[in-house]
């Protein structure tokens, strides 16, 4: 009976260890906070793989390959926002600055629109005539015409393919640029299931060699409920921000507007799954032009009036 009462108390008392260490509470503790990475992060949603439980958990082989293939999205010493901490059965995704380019809907390689032209009706007609023509001179004339039509079709195909290759090269260059602004992630792989009742301190300890938490100050200490500090309400007035402090790449449009309010102007463009949004915000004597890709802040500039 005494054990039963103690068990019930653990579930009923607010802030108990069981409630405090739920995946949702741990994710909420981190998401929206700023950290400084202590290593270059590859520009891909595959991120950095870590095999937990080993003395050196970093998978250096895949890490080197991804850096070489995709380039660097977040540089060593750069501050970035934790945009998502996602618990899976066997791993935890610790996403930074948008989580990395290449998630569902991202175009990783520009598609080719080139299709070789089919034989013309005249080519097919000549081929049929050649099968039934016995006169040598007539056959020679038909063959010359057929060769001319084939060469013309092939030249047209070569020109069309060259144009398509050039357009794809331009699109791939744009994709590569957007990729560098898409953030990255750590994948904490546990082999079996993710250990139950992980705390934020457990994750910070695992990432300590690669991530500096609370830059410029001691690392955060989890409280009983692991609740993040509330941000300012949308549209709240405040002192001017001439240096755009509070803005970080990886923020969502909603997070930026929680600081600056509704935009003065709004432009949207892009194609397929890459939607580019450019908003202009004003607050006191500060004006900010912010560029978002699929709703994630990738670039901003500040002017003071």
Which residues, in sequence order, are CB contacts of 24 under 8 Å at separation 6+? none
If you average pLDDT over residues 292-300, what whole number do you get?
A: 73
Summary count for the chain: helices (H), strands (E): 8, 12
pLDDT for 275 beyond 90: no
Domain count, the chain: 3
Q: What is the mean pLDDT of residues 274-284?
A: 81
Let me know whether 35 and 167 are in one domain: no
Co-location of 76 and 196 in the same domain: yes
pLDDT tens-digit readout, 85-125: 999 999 999 999 988 877 655 555 667 888 999 999 999 99
Whether pLDDT at 129 is above 60: yes
Residues 62, 209, single domain; the answer is yes
The percentage of the chain sitting over the pLDDT mark of 90, rounded to a whole number, equals 40
Q: Compute the mean pLDDT over every residue in the chain, rounded to the nearest whole number.
A: 78
- For residue range 187-200, list pLDDT tens digits in order: 999 988 999 888 99
**97 plus 30 within the same structural domain:** yes
* Same domain as 169, residue 25: no
Identify the pLDDT of residue 229: 38
Same domain, 300 and 283: yes
Q: For residue 241, give both structure tokens.
A: 């921000």
What is the rounded CA–CA span in Å between residue 41 and residue 37?
8
Q: Bridge-partner residues for 185, per DSSP? A: 95
DSSP string, 57-100: -B-HHHHHHHHHHH-EEE-TT-EEEEEEEEE-SSEEEEEETTS-
Are 26 and 97 in the same domain?
Answer: yes
Q: How many CB atoms lie within 10 A of CB 174?
A: 16
Query: Within this chain, do residues 174 and 186 fall inside the same structural domain, yes or no?
Result: no
109: in domain:
no
| 155 lies in the same domain as 168 | yes
Among 25-34, 187-196, 295-304, where is mean pLDDT lowest?
295-304
Query: Is there a domain that residue 167 lies in?
Result: yes
226, part of any domain: no
Q: What is the mean pLDDT of residues 5-11?
A: 37
Residue 280 resides in a domain: yes
82 contacts: CB under 8 Å, gap ≥ 6: 30, 31, 32, 33, 34, 35, 94, 95, 96
Q: What is the mean pLDDT of residues 142-168?
A: 90
**Domain of residue 288, residue span:** 253-304
The answer to whether residue 158 sits within a structural domain is: yes
| Residues 23 and 95 grouped into a single domain | yes
- Sequence-distant (6+) residues with CB within 8 A of 257 are 234, 263, 281
Distance CA 106, CA 260 (A): 28
Structural domain contains residue 169: yes
Quickly list H helices, the chain. 2-12, 17-20, 23-30, 60-70, 121-132, 136-180, 200-207, 253-260
């Amino acid at each position: 009976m005494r054990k039963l009462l103690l068990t019930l108390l653990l579930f009923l008392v607010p802030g108990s260890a069981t409630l405090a260490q739920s995946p949702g509470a741990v994710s909420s503790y981190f998401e929206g906070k700023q950290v400084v990475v202590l290593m270059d992060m590859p520009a891909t949603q595959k991120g950095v793989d870590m095999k937990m439980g080993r003395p050196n958990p970093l998978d250096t082989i895949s890490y080197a390959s991804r850096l070489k293939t995709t380039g660097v999205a977040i540089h060593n010493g750069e501050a970035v926002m934790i945009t998502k901490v996602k618990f899976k059965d066997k791993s935890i995704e610790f996403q930074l600055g948008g989580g990395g380019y290449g998630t569902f809907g991202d175009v990783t390689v520009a598609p080719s629109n080139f299709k070789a032209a089919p034989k013309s009706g005249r080519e097919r007609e000549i081929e049929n005539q050649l099968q039934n023509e016995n006169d040598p001179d007539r056959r020679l004339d038909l063959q010359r015409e057929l060769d001319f039509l084939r060469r013309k079709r092939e030249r047209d195909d070569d020109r069309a393919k060259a144009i398509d290759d050039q357009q794809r090269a331009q699109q791939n260059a744009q994709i590569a640029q957007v990729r560098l602004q898409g953030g990255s992630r750590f994948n904490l792989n546990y082999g079996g299931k993710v250990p139950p009742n992980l705390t934020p301190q457990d994750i910070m300890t695992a990432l300590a060699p690669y991530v500096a938490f609370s830059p410029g100050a001691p690392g955060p200490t989890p409280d009983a409920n692991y609740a993040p500090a509330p941000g300012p309400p949308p549209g709240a007035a405040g002192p001017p921000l001439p240096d755009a402090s509070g803005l970080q790449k990886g923020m969502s449009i909603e997070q930026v507007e929680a600081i600056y309010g509704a935009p003065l102007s709004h432009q949207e463009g892009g194609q397929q799954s890459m939607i580019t949004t450019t908003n202009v915000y004003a607050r006191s004597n500060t004006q900010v032009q912010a560029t978002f890709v699929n709703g994630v802040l990738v670039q901003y500039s500040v002017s003071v009036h």
